[in-house]
């Protein structure tokens, strides 16, 4: 069996229904995501405002730094808050996000305990404004927002940072989810290519099914050693509902919705990605294609998110029967 | 639906480009392979005469077509003379005329030929000659000779061969000696043979050949014999009876009319001088194709001025590199800095050559990165920082050039050919990737870019490809078609087989 797989690897991938980069771009993103709606998701400020209008829960926005002169007044702006997150509005791949968990006389304390001087924070914001983290180096704005106080349910399996739940929502139907756990290597960030762990999720029950770190399948968190299998995600249906509701928000057919669990506020939508990555398939050890094709077969997609979540679960069960990994 | 559209479009593009290529190869005989040389003959006819009083008119017979050759170019140098060209069944006649002139007159005609096939033109209906009134004594000799020859031959061709051999034999009988009488000059001899052939009612004519020999100064036309076999004209050497043209002979004129006819002048003379040159096949064939078939070749890149041609020689290779990039990025899944950056680097390698190019590029990048890390410490804003990197790159380039000049390494000077903006952007990106994803990732991407650049350099400087693309620019349509197809390729990338390897190996 093994040597056969190695002999013709692409055949094996096709059998598993794995979505490749070319097909994702050619058959899904180009087809279902109209370019004119991209600015809605590429600009996190706009996404946030849209979500607030639609009643979707998002982390509270403290301030927007739009110009260099505002950096000088940073300490006044930040005075009321001891914990906050600085992020570029047009950032991608989690880059340029600075999480401050406390403040002292000398400056701000990063998640890993390192101290940042005031001028270092200023420079970071200047970099954001000059477009260092935005696509094509366009001038950008910096958002300062509520730092999510994440639900302790994942405390054992995340190294600092905020674990989040990435869900691929295709035509309003959540098709695949993963839990992203930061590691020491990812410096508290939840992006897989930065070294976070991706953990597969049973769409029907909201239980984790084992994960992937870099390119290796793992069962336990590499830093704490705790198992990452069969964890129950609290309020799973709410998370699905929130993800499904994001489709109307941005009018895009194929999106990745990132949601965090706040200990007090419950699930909050962090951002929407119009070009979600493929690693989610590795985390779930399943291909996206069978589920995407199942959605494409549905003639009329129900307009209520509740109906769509039901559909999502039935599609999940369907595809579990047909293909076993 | 979209795939169908793309498929139709791509197929159409390929069909169009293949058709044009096929036409060019089969009909215009454009070479598929580079560096073939062809011989180019230049024939110069110099007409001299001394004029007498009154207006003068010079007529010279010129070939209409040269069997076995293609006329690339011809020109007349005739000063104040008026020139007219006339077609006269199988020949052309050039007529120079002037009302008033003095002293020795010189006129030139120049023609350039290369070997090649031109369609034969059809002769008019050949009239069969009527028997001539020969003097009684000759008639007997003639009848006897023809009878003997007829017995020893099967058809017109072998008849003529046999006849010519008998007429030229040194130890011949009385009949032949009688027939040979009073035919001393080659022209007279050919017309004698023609009149003998008339006795056998075989149509024949005189043709005049110019033998091409490199460096000939005072060549003359040589009369030759053509006999009509009922289907075509067969050429014979009137002295030996061998059939066919001698090698390197040009059929200058048909018939026995004089080559030159001058009225109002005396001591007229024609001198042929001939020389041979070797020319690049491409240029020759393009020129020839232009003569055979004008409209298609109007759009040839060879019609551009040479300097522009040289620019297009490079530009037209870019799509080849671009296609390579598409392949490497979308099928293989290689990561590079910037989409087309490797191509621009590869273009710079054209001038520096690969090893030097790689060395200089790495040197610049390494120095630039070091300085860029120092700039990071200064906390500059993005655009001024980019500008600073660009200025530093130029300073480094100047420095490398100066240093290599001092050390006597001329190759080092070619560093100036690198696209410095591209290098500055590469340094910036590389340092960002270095900061965010570590040195490994950034060196990996850098190596990837250099690998793609080297590969596309090798491809873009391939002599064979360069020739093909330049002579057949319609191949660009084929490249476009392949790019369109690749644009709809939704299969896995080779790198994804590696990325998903855990699934492939562990699956099940």
CATH of the domain at A248: 3.30.470.20
Q: For residues B302 and B283, is the Cβ–Cβ distance under 8 A?
A: yes
Confirm whether A202 is domain-assigned. yes
Q: How far apart are CA B379 and CA B375, in angstroms?
A: 7
**Partners of B236 in beta bridges:** B225, B243
Confirm whether B481 is domain-assigned. no
Q: For the segment A233-282, what is each residue's pLDDT rounded down to a tens digit?
A: 888 999 999 999 888 888 899 999 999 888 888 899 988 988 898 889 88
SS3 A102: strand
Residues B169-196 as b or e (16 or more Cβ within 10 Å = b): eeebeebbebbeeebeebbebbbbbbbb
Q: For the segment B289-316, what is each residue's pLDDT rounded down to a tens digit?
A: 555 555 666 666 766 666 677 778 788 8
Domain with residue A128: its CATH number is 3.30.1490
In this structure, the answer to whether residues B84 and B214 fall within a common structural domain is yes
Q: Name the residue among A145, A157, A309 with its Cα closest to residue A240.
A: A309
Residue A2, both tokens: 């093994």
Name the residue in chain B with its Cα closest to that of A31: B2
Q: On the CB side of B275, how many CA atoms lie within 13 Å of its CA?
A: 6
What is the model's pLDDT at position A325?
A: 45
In this structure, the answer to whether residues A183 and A300 fall within a common structural domain is yes
CA dist B494 to A39, B294, B498, Å?
32, 48, 7
Confirm whether A51 is domain-assigned. no
Confirm whether B312 is domain-assigned. no
* Dmax (CA) of chain A: 65
pTM: 0.64
User: Which residues constitute the domain of residue B80?
Assistant: 36-127+209-292
Residue B209, both tokens: 């050949």
Q: For the segment B36-83, what is each residue's pLDDT rounded down to a tens digit?
A: 566 778 888 888 888 777 788 888 888 877 777 877 778 787 777 888
Confirm whether B4 is domain-assigned. no
Give the position of tokens 């009878």: B147
Q: What is the signed CA dihedral for A278, A281, A284, A290, rounded to 10 degrees?
A: 140
Domain's final residue, options B257, B292, B327: B292
B500 touches chain A (CB under 8 A): yes
Query: Could you give the residue ranges of the DSSP H alpha helices within B48-108?
Result: none
A55: left (phi over 0), alpha (psi -120 to 50) or beta: left
In this structure, the answer to whether residues A163 and A131 fall within a common structural domain is no
In this structure, the answer to whether residues B281 and B415 fall within a common structural domain is no
- Cβ-Cβ contacts under 8 Å between A and B: the total is 89
Name the residue facing A22 among B437, B491, B507 (closest C-beta).
B491
Give the position of tokens 């109209």: A34
Residue B231, both tokens: 């289907």
Q: Phi then psi for A220, rounded to 5 degrees?
A: -135, 155
In this structure, the answer to whether residues B198 and B275 fall within a common structural domain is no
Name the residue facing B503 among A18, A131, A324 (closest C-beta).
A18
SS3 B59: strand
Overall size of chain B counted in residues? 508
Higher-scoring residue by pLDDT: B287, A111:
A111
In this structure, the answer to whether residues B187 and B47 fall within a common structural domain is no
Q: For residues A109 and A101, is the Cβ–Cβ distance under 8 A?
A: yes
Confirm whether A113 is domain-assigned. yes
Name the residue in chain A with its Cα closest to that of B438: A194
Q: How far apart are CA B236 and CA B189, in angstroms?
A: 13
Domain's final residue, options A78, A110, A145: A145
In this structure, the answer to whether residues A157 and A129 fall within a common structural domain is no
CB spacing of A23 vs B499 below 8 angstroms: no
ipTM: 0.74
In this structure, the answer to whether residues B180 and B243 fall within a common structural domain is no
Q: Give me the number of domains chain A comprises.
A: 2
Q: What share of chain A is helix, strand, coil (3-state, %, to 5)?
A: 40, 25, 35
CB spacing of A20 vs B488 below 8 angstroms: no
Query: What percent of chain B lies above the pLDDT cut of 90?
Result: 9
Residue A283, both tokens: 């985390």
Q: Name the residue among B270, B276, B269 with its Cα closest to residue B215.
A: B276
Q: For residues B202 and B153, is the Cβ–Cβ distance under 8 A?
A: no
In this structure, the answer to whether residues A32 and A164 fall within a common structural domain is yes
Q: Phi then psi for A62, rounded to 5 degrees?
A: -85, -50
Q: How far apart are CA B238 and CA B186, in angstroms?
A: 8
Residue B51, both tokens: 């004029």
Rounded to the nearest 10 degrees, the angle between the axes of helix B156-168 and helix B186-199 is: 130
B-chain residues near A9 (CB < 8 A): 497, 501, 504
Confirm whether B20 is domain-assigned. no
Name the residue facing A20 among B381, B496, B508 (closest C-beta).
B496
DSSP string, A254-280: EEEEEEEEETTTEEEEEEEESS--SHH
User: Which residues constitute the domain of residue A117?
Assistant: 61-145
Q: Which residues contact B138 (CB under 8 A, 6 or more apart)?
A: B178, B179
Query: What percent of chain B lies above the pLDDT cut of 70?
Result: 87
In this structure, the answer to whether residues B97 and B159 fall within a common structural domain is no
Residue A187, both tokens: 């410096």
Q: For the segment A140-170, what is each residue's pLDDT rounded down to a tens digit?
A: 899 999 988 888 888 777 777 778 899 999 9
Q: For the segment B120-141, what is each residue's pLDDT rounded down to a tens digit?
A: 656 666 777 776 667 777 777 7
Domain's final residue, options A145, A161, A187: A145
What is the model's pLDDT at position A324?
A: 47
The DSSP code for B234 is E
Q: How far apart are CA B329 and CA B299, in angstroms?
A: 34
In this structure, the answer to whether residues B352 and B402 fall within a common structural domain is yes
Q: For the segment A52-109, what is each residue's pLDDT rounded down to a tens digit?
A: 998 888 999 999 998 888 888 888 888 888 888 899 998 876 778 888 888 877 778 8
CB spacing of A12 vs B507 below 8 angstroms: yes
B382 touches chain A (CB under 8 A): yes
> How close, in Å, is residue B297 to chain A by CA atoms?
40
In this structure, the answer to whether residues A186 and A280 fall within a common structural domain is yes
B377 touches chain A (CB under 8 A): no
* Number of Cβ atoms within 10 Å of the Cβ of A286: 25
CA dist B117 to A34, A307, B71, Å?
60, 80, 11
In this structure, the answer to whether residues B123 and B141 fall within a common structural domain is no
Confirm whether A116 is domain-assigned. yes
In this structure, the answer to whether residues B365 and B454 fall within a common structural domain is yes
Q: Check whether B252 has a pLDDT greater than 80.
A: yes
Confirm whether B297 is domain-assigned. no
In this structure, the answer to whether residues A163 and A178 fall within a common structural domain is yes
DSSP string, B320-335: HHHHHHHIIIIII---
Q: Which of residues 401-460 of B touch A (CB under 8 A)?
A: 432, 436-437
Strands B37-51 and B265-280: antiparallel
In this structure, the answer to whether residues A239 and A292 fall within a common structural domain is yes
Please, what sign has the CA dihedral across residues A129, A130, A133, A136? positive
Q: For residues B69 and B274, is the Cβ–Cβ distance under 8 A?
A: no
Q: How far apart are CA B130 and CA B199, in angstroms?
A: 8
Confidence tier at B508 by pLDDT (50, 70, 90): very low
Q: Name the residue among B52, B58, B99 with its Cα closest to residue B76.
A: B58
Confirm whether A158 is domain-assigned. yes
Domain's final residue, options A110, A145, A180: A145
């Amino acid at each position: 069996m093994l040597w056969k797989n190695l002999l013709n690897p692409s055949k094996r991938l096709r059998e598993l229904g794995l979505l490749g980069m070319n097909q994702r771009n050619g058959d899904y993103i180009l087809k279902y995501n109209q370019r004119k709606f991209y600015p809605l998701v590429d600009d996190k400020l706009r996404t946030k405002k849209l979500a607030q209008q639609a009643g979707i829960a998002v982390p509270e926005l403290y301030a927007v730094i739009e110009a260099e002169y505002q950096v000088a007044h940073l300490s006044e702006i930040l005075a009321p808050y001891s914990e906050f997150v600085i992020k570029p509005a047009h950032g991608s791949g989690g880059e340029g996000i600075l999480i401050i968990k406390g403040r002292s006389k000398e400056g701000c304390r990063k998640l890993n305990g390192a101290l940042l001087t005031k001028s270092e924070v200023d420079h970071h914001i200047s970099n954001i404004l000059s477009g260092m983290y935005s696509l094509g180096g366009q001038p950008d704005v910096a958002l300062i927002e509520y730092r999510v106080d994440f639900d302790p349910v994942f405390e054992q399996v995340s190294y600092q940072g905020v674990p989040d739940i990435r869900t691929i929502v295709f035509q309003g139907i959540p098709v695949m989810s993963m839990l992203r756990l930061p590691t020491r290597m990812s410096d508290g960030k939840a992006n897989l290519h930065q070294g976070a762990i991706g953990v597969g999720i049973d769409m029907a029950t909201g239980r984790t099914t084992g994960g992937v770190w870099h390119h290796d399948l793992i069962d336990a968190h590499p830093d704490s050693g705790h198992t990452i299998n069969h964890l129950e995600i609290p309020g799973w249906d709410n998370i699905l509902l929130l993800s499904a509701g994001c489709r109307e928000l941005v009018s895009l057919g194929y999106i990745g919705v990132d949601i965090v669990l706040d200990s007090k506020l419950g699930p909050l939508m962090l951002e929407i990605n119009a070009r979600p990555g493929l690693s989610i398939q590795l985390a779930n050890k399943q291909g996206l294609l069978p589920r995407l094709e199942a959605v494409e077969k549905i003639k009329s997609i129900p307009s209520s998110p509740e109906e769509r979540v039901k559909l999502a679960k039935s599609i999940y069960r369907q595809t579990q029967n047909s293909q076993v990994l | 639906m979209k795939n169908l559209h793309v498929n139709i479009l791509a197929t159409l593009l390929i069909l169009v480009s293949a058709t044009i290529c096929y036409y060019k190869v089969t009909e215009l005989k454009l070479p598929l392979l580079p560096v073939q040389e062809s011989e180019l003959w230049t024939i110069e006819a110099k007409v001299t005469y001394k004029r007498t009083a009154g207006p003068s008119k010079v007529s010279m017979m010129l070939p209409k077509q040269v069997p076995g050759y293609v006329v690339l170019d011809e020109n007349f140098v005739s000063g104040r003379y008026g020139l007219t060209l006339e077609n006269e069944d199988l020949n052309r006649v050039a007529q120079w005329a002037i009302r008033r002139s003095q002293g020795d007159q010189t006129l030139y005609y120049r023609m350039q030929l290369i070997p090649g096939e031109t369609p034969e033109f059809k002769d008019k209906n050949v009239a069969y000659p009527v028997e001539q009134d020969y003097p009684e004594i000759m008639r007997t000799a003639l009848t006897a000779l023809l009878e003997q020859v007829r017995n020893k031959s099967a058809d017109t061709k072998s008849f003529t061969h046999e006849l010519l051999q008998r007429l030229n034999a040194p130890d011949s009988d009385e009949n032949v000696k009688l027939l040979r009488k009073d035919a001393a000059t080659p022209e007279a001899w050919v017309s004698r043979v023609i009149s003998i052939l008339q006795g056998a009612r075989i149509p024949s004519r005189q043709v005049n050949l110019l033998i091409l020999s490199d460096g000939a100064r005072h060549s003359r036309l040589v009369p030759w014999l053509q006999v009509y076999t009922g289907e075509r004209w067969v050429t014979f050497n009137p002295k030996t009876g061998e059939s066919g043209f001698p090698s390197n002979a040009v059929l200058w004129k048909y018939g026995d009319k004089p080559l030159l006819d001058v009225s109002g002048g005396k001591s007229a003379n024609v001198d042929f001088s001939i020389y041979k040159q070797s020319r690049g096949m491409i240029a020759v064939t393009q020129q020839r194709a232009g003569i055979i078939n004008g409209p298609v070749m109007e759009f040839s890149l060879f019609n551009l001025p040479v300097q522009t041609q040289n620019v297009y020689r490079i530009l037209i290779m870019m799509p080849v590199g671009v296609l390579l990039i598409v392949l490497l990025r979308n099928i293989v899944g290689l990561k590079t800095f910037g989409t087309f950056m490797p191509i621009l680097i590869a273009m710079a390698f054209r001038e520096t050559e690969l090893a030097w190019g790689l060395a200089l590029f790495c040197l610049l990048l390494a120095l630039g990165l070091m300085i860029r890390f120092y700039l990071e410490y200064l906390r500059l804003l993005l655009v001024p920082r980019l500008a600073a990197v660009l200025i530093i790159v130029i300073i480094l380039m100047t420095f490398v050039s100066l240093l290599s000049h001092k050390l006597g390494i001329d190759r080092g000077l070619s560093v100036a050919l690198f696209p410095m903006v591209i290098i500055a952007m590469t340094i910036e990106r590389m340092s960002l990737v270095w900061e965010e994803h570590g040195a490994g990732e950034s060196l990996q991407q850098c190596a990837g870019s250099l690998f793609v650049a080297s590969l596309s350099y090798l491809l873009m400087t391939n002599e064979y490809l360069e020739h093909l693309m330049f002579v057949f620019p319609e191949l660009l349509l084929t490249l476009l078609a392949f790019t369109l197809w690749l644009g709809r390729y939704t299969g896995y990338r080779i790198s994804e087989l590696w990325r998903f390897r855990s699934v492939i190996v562990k699956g099940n």
